[in-house]
Amino acid sequence: LEPASVTKIMTLLLVMEAVDSGRISLEDTVTVSAYAAGMGGSQVYLEEGEQMSVGEMIKCVTVVSGNDCAVALAEHLAGSESSFVAQMNARAGELGMTETHFANCHGLNEDGHYSCARDVAIMTRELLKHPKVLDYTGIWMDTIRGGAFGLANTNKLIRFYNGANGMKTGFTDTAKYCLSGTAKR
């Protein structure tokens, strides 16, 4: 089925693998392209040419499911979203995710974009091997742009479920409500 923004678990996995391997750092500056700025759906309204750190963009992807930030990160890592999506699919194959195919890095509806509960669990478990991501997924409320833009987590379990610390929600009209949740007690 369509995974909506739960797709971003794989996006975050590739980003966190790049951070942990030293290919990029959380302080690196990402410059936003016109394409990334033009993403619809959930976003932080990035503008073409705007610059933001990798860490801030990860926060926007995890907390408010920023499609614009997901694409900007994908372009930063792979040069283009399509190259990044090829890496997502390759990584899914390496993990044994046999019922998944990504058509984009953000989860908006697109033909050939699907996953299943088992595969979502596989990529979530793999992302948890990068514990730094929990510093972001566990944020309930925060800001960016020096406090000028507020963020509230789309995953309400973070506030209301004892021990919840992640991972990702998603919604589109056709995918409906999607969740990969993690908690520690």
Catalytic residues: 5, 8, 65
Picking from 137, 128, 95, 161, the residue whose alpha carbon sits closest to that of residue 5 is 137
Is the omega angle on the peptide bond into residue 39 within 30 degrees of 0, that is, cis?
Answer: no
User: DSSP states of 62-113 as a string?
Assistant: HHH--HHHHHHHHHHHHSSHHHHHHHHHHHHHHTT-TT-B-S-SS----TT-
Q: Number of C-alpha atoms within 13 angstroms, CB side, residue 93?
A: 8
**Which phi and psi (to 5°) does residue 90 adopt?**
-65, -45
